[in-house]
Amino acid sequence: MPPRDRSVIRLPSYEQVKSDPVLYAHASRVLHLETNPGNARALVQAHGEGATARDVWINPPPIPLTTAEMDYVFDLPYARSPHPAYADENGSHDHGTKIPAWEMIRFSINIMRGCFGGCTFCSITEHEGRIIQSRSEESIIKEIEDIRDKVKGFTGTISDLGGPTANMYRLGCKTPEIEAACRKPSCVYPGICQNLTTNHDPLIKIYRRGRALKGVKKILIGSGMRYDLAIKSPEYVKELVTHHVGGYLKIAPEHTESGPLTKMMKPGIGNYDKFKQMFDKFTLEAGKKQFLIPYFIAAHPGTSDADMMNLAIWLKKHGFRADQVQTFYPSPMASATAMYHSGRNPLRKIHRTVESDDENVDVVRGEKRRRLHKAFLRYHDPNNWPLLREALKAMGRADLIGNGKHHLIPTYQPVTGGCYESARKKNSTFLTIPSMVTEKTKPAAAARTPSAAKPRPGTVLTQHTGLPPRETGAKRVPGKPVRKGR
């Protein structure tokens, strides 16, 4: 009888976890150790006391779908359209009823589910499983043809053939027996597991077949790329770079420094350098002009101010000026959330007091420090220079302030009005920092703040779709904010 059928694990109770960050970190560690459907056990947690006390039973992750089952699900006759309630009077989702999230997926195809990366700030493994579940080539090709033939507005470009990770299609452990016994939280951290197959040939075949279809002019790859896996297949990188990049390829090293990278369970920046070399070589060979856009996270647990400074120096050295940056935000179920909440590292054992085999984590809290970390990522934005000058002096790195090429930020301060306009995106959000707007700069700041983009007072827009909440028939309680639609 497999272990999952013989035993359960009792987590600390909800009340304990709620009031004790160390127990929260412990519970999070246990949950993440029980993510392999081959050996995970059920988790049980007590909730409430007295007459309302009950146990919540959390089933182990389901056995992954086979390719035939995946095809069954994906081949169902979907409408490939948003709910008609959101359409205009002509049934259209264009112009005023355009939904940004729909535009993004309208011509994109999901070829697989799951991720074995285990990045700690992400909870895809908890949502979709750590074992990759792939559709068949036939099913994917049929969906490309369906989009071509049935989706209004198709101009010949498929915007993505992907999934949680673009290049994990059909990758996995070399045998089902080894896979079922494995307790590792990632197949690619701290390095690529020797039991992992990294053959990209099935994916290359789909790309080639897809772009040869009549009526298909271009297939782009918009999903995130695991570049540490991609460099194992130079043929794949060549295929991707030659045919499937739309000018920019976004990849996510997330950081350059080993402190935060070890807390994120991400590969070292050396892999990025190797991928970039290949990317540049094949781009040149294809006679194209295209660029790699690396993404980074500011203020992730385990990131020191010096780590962010070193990242900024790396960015400057490589000529990057990040437009869109993200500051870490704790999200449900992620291990990094447990670090953020508890200050402990759930990737290692958790004891009541820190012992040799567990670890405290430097958590970036408070508006000032989070702003500083983000400012390092956007060292090129003059609005951040006063904050960065102050921080660099306090860190004993005033040598980075000056007007030479080797300096990070200059000594002079231009008049900016507290706004920043992205070099690439004319419609990027403008930020007006009240403390930085003076009487002199007010007109410039006002002129650059798009008042039309401001929602009307009392309107709550959903984060992902930009749509007003759906009418649910629920009674509005005066003074209470309207709940977001789903």
Tell me whether residue 196 or residue 293 sits nearer to ligand SF4 (CB atom).
196
Residue 192: CB minimum distance to ligand SF4, A: 8
Distance between CA atoms of residues 368 and 146, nearest Å: 51
Residue 177: CB minimum distance to ligand SF4, A: 10
Tell me whether residue 36 or residue 384 sits nearer to ligand SF4 (CB atom).
36
Tell me whether residue 116 or residue 296 sits nearer to ligand SF4 (CB atom).
116
Interface with ligand SF4 includes 173 (CB under 6 A)?
A: yes
What is the DSSP code string of 5-43?
A: HH-EEEPPPHHHHHH-HHHHHHHHHHHHHT--TTT--EE
Q: Looking at 53, 151, 178, 415, which residue binds ligand SF4 (CB under 6 A)?
A: 178
Residue 254: CB minimum distance to ligand SF4, A: 20
Tell me whether residue 125 or residue 159 sits nearer to ligand SF4 (CB atom).
125
> Which residues, 6+ apart, have CB-to-CB distance to 408 below 8 Å?
309, 312, 313, 316, 379, 388, 392, 400, 401
- Is-contact 290 111, C-beta < 8 A? no
Interface with ligand SF4 includes 419 (CB under 6 A)?
A: no
Distance between CA atoms of residues 286 and 247, nearest Å: 12
Residue 133: CB minimum distance to ligand SF4, A: 14
Question: Residue 105: what residue type?
Answer: I
Span between the terminal Cα atoms of the chain, in Å: 41
Residue 37: CB minimum distance to ligand SF4, A: 11
Q: Which helix (H) or strand (E) holds 126?
A: helix 124-128
Binders of ligand SF4 among residues 279 to 338 (CB under 6 A) are none
Tell me whether residue 182 or residue 225 sits nearer to ligand SF4 (CB atom).
182
- Is-contact 109 160, C-beta < 8 A? yes
Supply the angle between the helices 367-377 and 305-317 in degrees, to the nearest 10.
20
Distance between CA atoms of residues 28 and 45, nearest Å: 12
Residue 39: CB minimum distance to ligand SF4, A: 11
Interface with ligand SF4 includes 187 (CB under 6 A)?
A: yes
Interface with ligand SF4 includes 184 (CB under 6 A)?
A: yes
Q: Choose the binding region for ligand SF4 from 76-84, 187-195, 267-275, 424-432 (rule: CB under 6 A).
A: 187-195
Per-residue interface string for the shown chain with ligand SF4, residues 88-117, x marking contact by CB under 6 A: ----------------------------x-
Interface with ligand SF4 includes 216 (CB under 6 A)?
A: no
Which residues, in sequence order, are bridge partners of residue 134? 112
Cα–Cα distance list, 65 to 73, 125, 170, 197, 247 (Å): 10, 15, 13, 19, 35
Q: Looking at 34, 128, 137, 179, which residue binds ligand SF4 (CB under 6 A)?
A: 179
Tell me whether residue 116 or residue 279 sits nearer to ligand SF4 (CB atom).
116
Cα–Cα distance list, 342 to 86, 350, 397, 429 (Å): 42, 11, 31, 33
Question: Residue 464: what residue type?
Answer: H
Tell me whether residue 173 or residue 334 sits nearer to ligand SF4 (CB atom).
173
Interface with ligand SF4 includes 392 (CB under 6 A)?
A: no
Residue 115: CB minimum distance to ligand SF4, A: 12
Q: Which tokens in the block code for residue 207?
A: 């790309």
Interface with ligand SF4 includes 196 (CB under 6 A)?
A: yes
- Is-contact 224 231, C-beta < 8 A? no
Interface with ligand SF4 includes 347 (CB under 6 A)?
A: no
Residue 368 CB burial class (10 angstroms; 0-12, 13-18, ≥19)? exposed
Q: Looking at 193, 313, 325, 401, which residue binds ligand SF4 (CB under 6 A)?
A: 193
Tell me whether residue 187 or residue 467 sits nearer to ligand SF4 (CB atom).
187
Interface with ligand SF4 includes 33 (CB under 6 A)?
A: no
Interface with ligand SF4 includes 71 (CB under 6 A)?
A: no
Distance between CA atoms of residues 83 and 313, nearest Å: 47
What does residue 45 show for φ and ψ, rounded to 5 degrees? -135, 130
Q: Looking at 39, 195, 326, 462, which residue binds ligand SF4 (CB under 6 A)?
A: 195
Number of residues forming the site for ligand SF4 (CB under 6 A)? 10
Q: Which tokens in the block code for residue 451?
A: 């008042």
Q: Choose the binding region for ligand SF4 from 19-27, 171-179, 463-471, 472-480 (rule: CB under 6 A).
A: 171-179
Residue 60: CB minimum distance to ligand SF4, A: 16
Q: Which tokens in the block code for residue 49?
A: 């006391």
Interface with ligand SF4 includes 39 (CB under 6 A)?
A: no
Tell me whether residue 39 or residue 441 sits nearer to ligand SF4 (CB atom).
39
Residue 447: CB minimum distance to ligand SF4, A: 55
Distance between CA atoms of residues 105 and 31, nearest Å: 32
Tell me whether residue 142 or residue 184 sits nearer to ligand SF4 (CB atom).
184
Residue 149 CB burial class (10 angstroms; 0-12, 13-18, ≥19)? exposed
Distance between CA atoms of residues 340 and 336, nearest Å: 6
Tell me whether residue 198 or residue 303 sits nearer to ligand SF4 (CB atom).
198
Provide the binding-site residues for ligand SF4, judged by CB under 6 A: 116, 173, 178-179, 182, 184, 187, 193, 195-196
